[in-house]
Amino acid sequence: MEPRPLNETAASPATIWPISFAVGVAVLLIGLIVNPKVIAPLGGAIIVVATVAWIRGGRHGEQPTTDEDPTPQEAERGGDRYPRSRFLERATLGLGGVIAGAVALPAVGLSVLPAFFGQQRRPVDLGPTSAFPEGRFVVTTFLADPKAGEVSRRAAYIRNNGLLAGLPSFTVMSSRCTHVGCPTQPNGPMFPQQRHAEHTANGEVGLVPAFPAGGFGCPCHGSQFDVEGNRTAGPAPRALDRYEFSIRNGHLWLGRLFSVSHVEGHGANARIHRFALRGAGEPADGPESLLYPVDPIR
């Protein structure tokens, strides 16, 4: 029988690691769309584990076989432990991976990252706190982005709750229904004849007193909210979103929006169960909230 060359290797047994690697890539790509904070890292971990195990398994399976005794020169250098063909094969695959990453990563970054960076809401000056009577709701309209003009005009329900531990307290709720984003309306009289405007660095701020004794309602699909923004009826999945606020030189400033599952209590003593801002139709808490993709920063 003709002897085999020294550098001929035994066939490596089949493993699950190539399939695991492919599964990891699929999980990573899905995670970038569905949940970059949880699913995408899981896919990356699967890829790393599968890659390491694949390389180690391949290295262990490459045992030189021969029917002849090695020559003194081969014995001295320990035989051809890593065939040149295998080195070239893996070098080619590695180079191909680097080139594919160099092509794909910029495209993925330009399509995904802008949704998560650079879109933070800037603070909005609503004018002096004296423009908001204590214990009364004021329907306030303002420009979220003066550079964008009227297309960025928003409305908020603002109530001055008085002082809490010596500091001003305000309830500031978005007027947008948490079902599909329709503008809600106060369930009670508004007093447009008492409307007045404040002029700030953000443009004109309109202030209209209101008495929403029955809370707020959405004319689109019938969602209802009480005076603290809690959902009381309809398809809305959570309470009305709220704005962070601060007091600067006697002026009321709005910050970022955040979502609320529900509110316990009333006014300055209310306990707000807050969460990161969710999209329209998304619950703020509970197992079902995990089924929605991560929202971009707004």
Q: What is the pLDDT of residues 45-91, one digit of tens each?
A: 888 888 888 777 765 555 555 555 555 555 555 555 667 777 777 77
Bridge partner residues of 185 (DSSP): 217
Instruction: Work out the mean pLDDT of the chain and round it to a whole number.
Output: 82
Closest to 206 (Cα-Cα) out of 278, 148, 126, 135: 126
pLDDT at residue 266, as a whole number: 93
Q: How confident is the model at residue 9 (pLDDT cuts 50, 70, 90)?
A: very low
Give 190 or 294, the one with higher predicted confidence: 190
pLDDT at site 239: 97
Whole-structure pTM value: 0.65
* 3-state SS record for the chain: CCCCCCCCECCCCCCCHHHHHHHHHHHHHHHHHHCCCCHHHHHHHHHHHHHHHHHHHHHHHCCECCCCCCCHHHHHCCCCCCCHHHHHHHHHHHHHHHHHHHHHHHHHHHHHHHHCCCCCCCCEEEEEHHHCCECCEEEEEEECCCCCHHHHEEEEEEEEEEEECCEEEEEEEECECCCCCCECEECCCECHHHCEEEEECCEEEEEEEECCCCCEECCCCCCEECCCCCEEECCCCCCCCEEEEEEECCEEEEEEEEEEEEEECCHHHCEEEEECCCCCCCCCCCHHHHHCCCCCCC
Q: What is the rounded distance in angstroms from the CA atom of residue 265 to the CA atom of residue 268?
A: 9
Chain-centre distance for alpha carbon 28: 16
Asked whether the beta carbons of 23 and 46 are under 8 A apart, the reply is: yes
**Residue 2: predicted pLDDT:** 54
Residue among 105, 127, 122 nearest 204 (CA): 127
Q: Which residue has the tokens 């794909």?
A: 104
Q: What is the mean pLDDT of residues 262-280?
A: 93
Model confidence at 254, in pLDDT bands (50, 70, 90)?
Answer: very high
Q: Which of 133, 124, 130 is nearest to 156 (CA)?
A: 124
Task: Give the span between the Cα atoms of 93 and 81, in whole angstroms.
Answer: 20
